[in-house]
Every structure is written in structure tokens, then in C-alpha cells.
Structure 1
Amino acid sequence: MNLAILYRGPLASCNYDCPYCPFAKRQDPPELLRADRAALARFTRWVAATTDVRLSVLFTPWGEGLTRSWYRNAMVSLSHLPHVERVVIQTNLAARVDWLADADPGAAALWTTYHPGQVTRQRFLARCARLSELGVRYSVGVVGLPEHLDEARALRAALPAQVYLWVNAAEGRRYDADEEATWTRLDPLFGWSVRPHLSLGQPCHAGETAISVLGDGTVRRCHFDPAPIGNLYDGSWRAALKPRRCGVAVCDCHIGYVHLKPLGLRDVFAGGVLERIPAVWPHPGGAASGTA
């Protein structure tokens, strides 16, 4: 059995104050941080003990996880487990990355996002360069807002050609044909993000070979379907895994629609689904060379 787990604990604090994020500059009280640390330790123990399943883990905290030592430690320890194929975290890359020298670069990977106005491009690129030195796989992304376009172009030109730069359509924003074409020159796969996917009734890997897990062990099909289907720690998740059709009207987030079977995106991102790295990159269209 191969199972992808998207884990999200109680953590909701972030060191950035992006205007497009509802969790900007949120601070968690000490008791919530203790609860998050304990929940992650429990999850890490479960992963280590569940050796009959080939596991891949994506940490998707509401806030920034890598400023917390327990997420860094979990990434390192899980990367060395022989039954863990991949361990990934979504991060703004604000924290130093030298600790990844202790991780297995064949398993650890990062899904990083560049937030102009929160960090200088030079500082962000220095973190990326260090990841490349360490041999750690990573993707880089930006939110497709007009005020980010010049920075996104400069970032694409400065990144190594083999690093995929993805663009997320800004929530609630409509893109005309010219805008879509502009962003597509930077990210040839932008079209998958720019239009929400009508998902109701569509077959999906979620709930079959991919699940969402909360800090208390509650298992859901995905982050966007709140109905629980079991619990990680009482074993009920095993019987719950089966082919399913989506019960949500629209899916507009990459970590959700990448699992919709009709889209075939698991093939597009084969070998890099959780870290958002396409199987074939640089893209033949030339975006990776900075020609946008």
C-alpha cells in the first residue's frame, strides 16, 4: 500500500503579514504551541511504527512550521525511515536550512513560497542556493498578483533552470486572457490553477491513496471535505480507504485538485506530487530559462 498523508496540526502562527493570508502575523499562545508539538511527536511515532505501508507526508501548517524546532526534527527523522518515500513541508523559507544537511536528500523536500514585501529576493534566493548545495529537492512559488509580476520574473531569471517556479492564482481574482498568458509564460502549468475545477461527483484519489490528518488523529478525505472517515490512532482509517467521488462542489487548491483522477495531474507531477515538482522539467516551452 502507498499512502500520501497531508498533516495539519494546531499551529497557526506565522512570522509574515501577507495581506492575502488570514493567518498573517498571528501568534499562538504557549499552550497551543505545546499541544502542536505533542501532536506532531505522536504523529511522528505513528509514522515510524507503521512499517507495513509505504508513506509520503506533506506538512501543511496554517502558519510557518520551520521556525519551530519540532517540525525540523520531524523532517529529519522521518526522512531516514526506509518506508517513508517522501517528507515535505510548505514553507516561506524564512528559517535557515542548514539543518537539512542531517536529512536524507532522497526523501526530504520543500514546497517553498516567495512573498515579495516580506523578504528580499536576494535573501530568498540565498536560501534556495543553499538547498541546491545540499541536494534537497524544492519548488518555488508566488501568488499571481499584478504587484508580484516583476519580482516573479526576476526570481525565475535567477533560479536554476531545473527549479520549477509555480504560480498560484490569487483567491477571488479573475484573469483575462492577456493576464493568464503573462503568468503562463512564467509557469506553463498556471492554467490548472487559474480556473476552479468542478469536482462534485468526480473520482478522486483522496480517501483512497491520499488522506488528510489533523493533530488529534482525525482522518478526512482531504483538507476541503470536513467529514471524518476515521482516526489514525485507533486504526479505523484502514477500513475507510476506498475509491471515492468528490463530495465538494469546486476544488481550487493544488493540494486538492492534484488528486482528482480525471485531471491526470498525478502523472504530470509523478515523483514530485507532494513537493509540486513536475515529472518533466525544465518545460519544453522555455519558462525555466527565464524567457518570460
Structure 2
Amino acid sequence: MNLSILYRGPLASCNYDCPYCPFAKRVDPPELLRADRAALERFAAWVEATTDVQLSVLFTPWGEGLTRSWYRDTIVRLSHLPHVERVAIQTNLAARVDWLAEADRNTAALWTTYHPGQITRERFLERCTGLRRLGVRFSVGVVGLPEHLAEARALRADLPDEVYLWVNAAEGHRYDAEQEAHWTALDPLFGHSVRPHLSLDRPCHAGETAISVQGDGSVRRCHFIAEPIGNLYDGSWRPALRPRGCTNAVCDCHIGYVHLKPLGLRDVFAGGVLERIPAAWPPQRATVSGAGR
């Protein structure tokens, strides 16, 4: 069995103050941090013990995980397990990256996001250079707000061609044809993000070969369907895995719609689904203008 797990514990604090994020600059009290650390330790122990399943894990914290030592330690720990194919995390890349030298870089990967106004482009690029020097797989992304376009273009120009730059459509923002073309020039797959995908009753890998796990072990089909289908720690998740149609009208988040079977995006991102890297990247085309430096 091959199973992808999106894990989200109680952590909700972040060191950034992005105006488009409801968790910006949130501070978790000590008791919540202790609960998050204990939940992650329990999850890591379960991963270690579950050797009959080929596992891939993506940590999707509401806040920033890599500023917490227990997320860094857990990624290193899980990366060395033979039955873990990939362990990745969504991160703003504000924290140092040298700890990844202790990880198995064939397994560990990062899904990184550049937030203009929170970190300088130069500092962010330094982190990317550190990841490349270590041989860590990573993607880079931005939120497609009009005020971010110039910085996104500059970032694309400064990144090597082999680094995939993805763009998330900004929540609540409408894109006309010209705006969509600007962002698509940076991310050829932007079209999948810019319009919500009809998903009701459509087949999805979620709940079959991909699940969402909460800090208490509750298992859901995905982050966007709240109804639990079992619990990780009592084994009830195993018989619950089966093909299902989606119960939501639309799916508009990459970590959800990448698993919608009719879209075929698992093939597009084969080998890099969790860290959001397309299989055929960089594309066989002319070099991106200004890139490769």
C-alpha cells in the first residue's frame, strides 16, 4: 500500500505578518506548543512503527513549523526510514536550512513560499542557495496578488531554471485575461489555481490513497472535508480507505485538487506531488528570460 498523509497539528503561530493570512503573527501559548510537540512525537512514532505501508508525509501547519525544533527533528528522523518515500513541509523559509544536512536528501523536501514585505528577496534567495548546495528538493511559490507581480518576476529571474516557481491565485481576487497571462508566464500551471474545480461526486484519491491527519489522530479524507473516517491510532483508518466521490461542490486549493482523478495532476507532479514539483520540470523549451543566474 502507498499512502500520502497530510498532517496538521495544533500549531497555528507564525513569525510573519502577511495581511492575506488569518494566522499572521499569531502567538501560541506554551501549553498549545507542548500539545503540538507531543502530538507530532506520537505521529512520528506511528510512522516508524507502520512499516507495512509505503508512506509519504506532508506537514501543512497553519503556522510556521520550521521555527520549531520538533518539526526539524521529525523531518530528519522520518527521512531515514526505508518505508518513507517522501517527507516534506510547507514553509516560509525564514528559518535556517543547515539542519537538513542531517536528513536523507533523497527523501526530505520543502514546499516554500516567498512573502514579499516579510523577507527580502536577497535573504530568501540565500536560503534557496543553501538548499541547492545541500541537494534538497524544493519548490518556490508566491501568492498572485497584483502588488506581488514585480517581485515574483524578479524572483523568477534570479532563480535557476530547475527551480519550479508556482503561483497561488489570491483568495477573493478576480483575474482578467491580461492578469492571468502575466502570472501564467511565470507558472505555466497557474490555470489550475485561478479557477475553482467542480468536484461534487467526482472521483478523488483522497480517502483512498491520500488522507488528512489531525493532531489527535483523527483521519479525514482531506483537509477540506471535516467528517472523520477513522483514527490513525486505533487502526480504524485502514478499512475506511476506499474510492469515493467528493462531497464538496468545488475544490480550489492545490493540496486538495491535486488528488482529483479527472484532472490527472498526480501524473503531472509524479515524484513531486507533496513538494509541488512537476515531473517534467524544467520544461524542454527556451530558457526563462533572465533565469539561470
Partner residue in 2 for 1:276: 276
| Aligned AA (1:90) | Q
How do residues 255-274 of structure 1 correspond to structure 2 at under 5 angstroms? Answer: 255-274=255-274
3-state SS, counterpart of residue 229 of structure 1: strand
Alpha-carbon distance, 1:95 to partner: 0.2
Partner residue in 2 for 1:204: 204
| Aligned AA (2:191) | G
TM-score by structure 2 length? 0.98
Relative to 1, partners in 2 of residues 1:281 and 1:38: Cα closer, same or farther, differing over 3 Å?
A: same
TM-score by structure 1 length? 0.98
Partner residue in 2 for 1:39: 39
Partner residue in 2 for 1:240: 240
Alpha-carbon distance, 1:282 to partner: 1.1
Count how many residue pairs are aligned between Structure 1 and Structure 2.
291
How far apart are the structure 2 equivalents of 1:289 and 1:54? 40
Partner residue in 1 for 2:64: 64
Relative to 1, partners in 2 of residues 1:49 and 1:169: Cα closer, same or farther, differing over 3 Å?
A: same
How do residues 47-58 of structure 1 correspond to structure 2 at under 5 angstroms? Answer: 47-58=47-58
Alpha-carbon distance, 1:60 to partner: 0.1
How far apart are the structure 1 equivalents of 2:250 and 2:30? 36
Partner residue in 2 for 1:77: 77
How far apart are the structure 2 equivalents of 1:130 and 1:290? 21
CA contact (8 A) 1:188 1:285 kept: no
How far apart are the structure 2 equivalents of 1:151 and 1:69? 30
How far apart are the structure 2 equivalents of 1:239 and 1:162? 41
Q: Does 1:15 align with 2:15?
A: yes
CA contact (8 A) 1:162 1:288 kept: no
How far apart are the structure 1 equivalents of 2:285 and 2:145? 22
| Aligned AA (2:64) | E
How far apart are the structure 1 equivalents of 2:172 and 2:24? 18
How far apart are the structure 2 equivalents of 1:22 and 1:285? 39
| Aligned AA (1:253) | C
3-state SS, counterpart of residue 15 of structure 2: coil
| Aligned AA (1:208) | E
Partner residue in 2 for 1:29: 29
How far apart are the structure 1 equivalents of 2:158 and 2:12? 31
Partner residue in 1 for 2:251: 251
User: Runs in 1 of length 4+ with deviation above 2 angstroms?
Assistant: 283-291
How far apart are the structure 2 equivalents of 1:94 and 1:104? 21
Partner residue in 2 for 1:163: 163
String of CA shifts for 1:259-282, please: whole Å, max 9, x gaps.
Answer: 000000000000000000000011
Alpha-carbon distance, 1:289 to partner: 4.8
Partner residue in 2 for 1:109: 109
CA-atom RMSD, angstroms? Answer: 0.9
Among the aligned pairs, what percent are the same residue? 81
String of CA shifts for 1:112-140, please: whole Å, max 9, x gaps.
Answer: 00000000000000000000000000000
How do residues 123-142 of structure 1 correspond to structure 2 at under 5 angstroms? Answer: 123-142=123-142
Alpha-carbon distance, 1:201 to partner: 0.5
Alpha-carbon distance, 1:284 to partner: 3.8
How far apart are the structure 1 equivalents of 2:4 and 2:119? 31
String of CA shifts for 1:179-216, please: whole Å, max 9, x gaps.
Answer: 00010000000000000001010000000000000000
String of CA shifts for 1:125-174, please: whole Å, max 9, x gaps.
Answer: 00000000000000000000111011000100111110000000000111
3-state SS, counterpart of residue 168 of structure 1: strand
Relative to 1, partners in 2 of residues 1:284 and 1:173: Cα closer, same or farther, differing over 3 Å?
A: farther
| Aligned AA (2:261) | K
How far apart are the structure 2 equivalents of 1:132 and 1:229? 39
How far apart are the structure 1 equivalents of 2:82 and 2:289? 36
